[in-house]
Amino acid sequence: MTRFVYYCASTLDGYIAEADDTIDWLTGYSGTYAGAGVQPMAGSYERFYDGIGALVMGSATYEFVLEYGREWPYEGKPCWVLTSRPLAIMEGEGVDVRFASRPVGEIYDEIVASARPRDVWVVGGGNVASQFADNGLLDELRLHVVPVVLAGGKPLFDRPLTGGPMQLTGALPCDNGMVELTYEIVRAAD
């Protein structure tokens, strides 16, 4: 069954980007941890990404990828960009970008069909994740908590989640000092 997974990094105080959409706090982070049960950070993204069949992101995330990426990082996987405005079109072999301005409930089945039998990665940002959660369409939050405090910026979610508290299904300390937390999203209809 295809699941929608919000996979991202967040500061200790719940921000995924600074107010200007930069992520220097993440790209410049270096830390270590050598305690019990530590997992290597190397390879964790690759293991996650191997299970992904399609991606969904907002316009700011898409523009960030275009501006800072040398090449399209999601080659061979359909990427849905939720936007209400025209955006530059990324072209190239293996690039499959699909712009959508309809509500997520209306494009859900199309996204699932493009991802099957794998999962869908809700890349970001907080508004996109909130749209899926608001519609009861978000299944899992996989969060890398980075020991940095911004005290402001772009939040992990734009609004409160409905349907009850999330259920912790995994907690892994990583060798770089981050902690990977995995939560099942309790849907309002569950």
Q: How confident is the model at residue 188 (pLDDT cuts 50, 70, 90)?
A: low
Task: Report how far residue 65's alpha carbon sits from residue 74's, in angstroms, rounded to the nearest whole number.
Answer: 10
Region 74-79: mean pLDDT is: 95
| End-to-end Cα spacing for the chain | 16
Domain range summary for the chain, segments of one domain joined by +: 1-53+125-159+174-190, 54-115
Q: What is the mean pLDDT of the chain?
A: 92
Q: What is the pLDDT of residue 105?
A: 94
**pLDDT higher at 45 or 122:** 122
Beta-sheet pairing, 179-184 with 167-173 = antiparallel
Tens of pLDDT along 101-118? 999 999 999 999 999 999
Task: Report how far residue 71's alpha carbon sits from residue 48's, in angstroms, rounded to the nearest whole number.
Answer: 20
Helix ranges (H only) for the chain are 24-27, 44-50, 59-68, 104-115, 126-134
Residue with tokens 């305690």: 35
Q: How confident is the model at residue 190 (pLDDT cuts 50, 70, 90)?
A: very low
**pLDDT higher at 16 or 35:** 16
Task: Report how far residue 165's alpha carbon sits from residue 183's, in angstroms, rounded to the nearest whole number.
Answer: 10
**pLDDT higher at 43 or 28:** 28
CATH class for the region spanning 1-53+125-159+174-190: alpha beta
Q: What is the pLDDT of residue 25?
A: 96
Residues 6+ apart with CB under 8 A from 26: 9, 146, 148
pTM: 0.93
Q: What is the pLDDT of residue 44?
A: 86
pLDDT at 122 over 80: yes
Task: Report how far residue 55's alpha carbon sits from residue 38's, in angstroms, rounded to the nearest whole number.
Answer: 29
Tens of pLDDT along 29-61? 999 998 888 888 887 899 999 999 999 999 999
**How far is CA 98 from each of CA 54, 121, 128, 134, 164, rounded to the nearest angstrom?**
11, 15, 15, 22, 32
Q: How confident is the model at residue 172 (pLDDT cuts 50, 70, 90)?
A: very high
Lowest mean pLDDT of 118-122, 127-131, 163-167, 184-188, name the range: 184-188
pLDDT at 151 over 80: yes
Task: Report how far residue 185's alpha carbon sits from residue 133's, in angstroms, rounded to the nearest whole number.
Answer: 8
